[in-house]
Each structure stands twice: as C-alpha cells, then as structure tokens.
Amino acid sequence: MANATVGVGTYAGEAARPYVAAAILSADSIANNYVSVLENVHSKAVLRKFSGAAISAATCEFTTPATGQLALGEAILEATALQVNEQVCNKDLRATWESAQMRGQSSNAPADFTSFAAQYVAAKVAENVEVNLWGGNYDPDDGTLTGGGELGTSFDGICHHIVDATPGYEKLAAGAFTADADATTGILTKLDDIVANAPSVVQADPGTVLYMSRKSLFLLQRAMAGIGIFSGDATAGIGGAGYSPEFVGAARPTTFLGFPVVAPAGMANDTIIMCNPNQLYFGTDLLTDHIQASILDLTSVTGDDVTRVIMKFSGGTQIVDAGSIAVSRRSS
C-alpha cells in the first residue's frame, strides 16, 4: 500500500459545509432531534412565542376579550463565534488509516487521508458541541453558572439559560441524585415531583419529554429494579429483599408515567428538564457563507509531520418560553 499523502485545502461557505456539518450535526442531541435547530443564524435569531387567544361569544362587532388575549413575545438566540484549532500527528493517524483501508468497505473509512484527519477532528468537535449545548457555563454540582464544575465554556448551554430564567416549575434540593425513592435525593422522588407539579401546559402537551443524563437514567433503572418489590417494603431500597427481573435484565427505561425519557450524551448530571423539544433551540451559521474549514499539512512547510485542522463557525442555545419548562436540579 502506498504511503498516505495529506492534501492541503482551505474551504469557505458551501465548500466548507461537509467538514463543519460533520462537526456540528453529528452531535447526539442534534442528530436525534432532541432540540430544535436553526442552521441560518448569522449572529442573532429572534424566537417568537405566542400565548393566549381567548374565545368569546359571537357578536356583530369586533371586540377583544378582557382577559386571555393573544400575546406575542420573543427570545433572542445569540450565536457565539467559535473556532477549532487542532493538530494531529500524521504518524499516529497514518497507521490507523492504512489499517482501515486494508479492511476495505467494511471499515467505512474515507478514501483519502485528508478526509480521515478531518473526520477524526469533526468527531471530537461534535462531542464538544454536545456538552456545551446542555451544560455550557453551568455547574451541575451546585446549579450555578460559575465555578469549577462547568461542563463547557464555549457558549451558554440550555441549563444556563434555564437558571437565568424563571421556569414554570423548579425544584432545588441539596445532594447528588440517588438510585432510590429518598425524599430528598431519590431519582424516583425527583421524577414523580416534576411530573406532578409541572405546569398544566407541559403536562397536557403530547410532545413533552423528560430529559436526564445517562447517569441519571442508570440510577432510574437501578431504582426501579431494586426497591423491595418482593418483600413489600417500599423502604428496602437497592439492598432490599428482592429485585425486579423486568428492570434488572431489560433495557433502560424509555418512559416514566407515560412521558418519554431521553438521555442526551451531553446532558448534565443531577438535572431533569421536562418540556417539548420545540422549547429548546440550538443555532448555528452552517447555511451561511461565514463558515470556514482549513486542512494544512506542515510536512513541507515546517518539517513537522503533522496536519492542522482549522474550523470557524458559530453556535448558541436559547429556550423559547421558560414558563413552559419544568426543571429539577441540584442546589449543592
């Protein structure tokens, strides 16, 4: 097999889209439609929210009702200019690429090393976008917007905006979530509380889902499997007399009290959000001419056997109507 040759190229606008799109749209929450996506945000986007629209008895004159009139509000999604400056060693990646080429079509590896390097970086960027989408500038350990526990600092995530706003229902409690029905920290208690106390508009919305981290989903399965079902003792907990075979061996729960449960890869631990996905937005400039991608081989320039991958794009999040969101999160 011939040695890999690294190409050089700088792409802008539509030419850069295959590289930048792979880095953005493959993020778990975006690829699975856990949030709504705007791909044409230059700097800011206005998210319109309607409320009201009262019905009254018919008359011959046009009169507006005294209460419950149609109201139009707005929320501003502001995208942050982002850049990716990554350097990968050609020697380290070359062996992996050549091995993939030897496996043929079954490897799904790109035909040229340039695309392989860009694909590698794009996967890492997608992970970063996913983490910031939910937890950017948000500390899940104490529910604050600053501190040492932020999941990401590239742009403000959805959890950050929820803290800034006034949700329709919010429950704060000290301590990390636990796999039981503890009155303060139990995952079952948390979920029952948020479902029972969410605004009626959230409860009645057929599109409402429960967002939690994959760790929280694991705690939920343990709780459902471990409470003393066979002993009849609801306080037996994980160490109780019996386990439920249904939840020990089955897949992790996909619903709770009839509401779908989704666990995005970047969702913050010890935080539960209940709403319709159309309340949560991610915006980027993917469909504009402002994106850029560069793939630079420095072997013939500096003598370093490395490839630099550079991307420029924007990203940001926003919630539409905080009153249509319920949240349960950790306070310390």
How many residues are present in the chain? 332
Q: What pLDDT is stored for residue 28 in this prediction?
A: 95
CB 35 within 8 A of CB 315: no
139 pLDDT higher than 70: yes
What the block records as the tokens of 64 is: 């507006």
**Integer Cα distance of 104 and 287 in angstroms:** 33
Q: Categorize the per-residue pLDDT at 198 as very low, low, confident or very high, splitting at 50, 70 and 90.
A: very high
Nearest-angstrom CA–CA distance, 157 and 70: 30
> CB of 122 within 8 A of CB of 19?
yes
Domain ranges of the chain: 9-51+73-330
Residue 92 has pLDDT above 50, yes or no: yes
Tell me the average pLDDT of the chain.
80
Question: To 5 degrees, how large is the angle CA 285–CA 291–CA 294?
Answer: 155
CATH code assigned to 9-51+73-330: 3.90.1690
Kindly state the greatest CA–CA separation across the chain. 84
Please, which residues bridge with residue 211 across strands? 262, 273
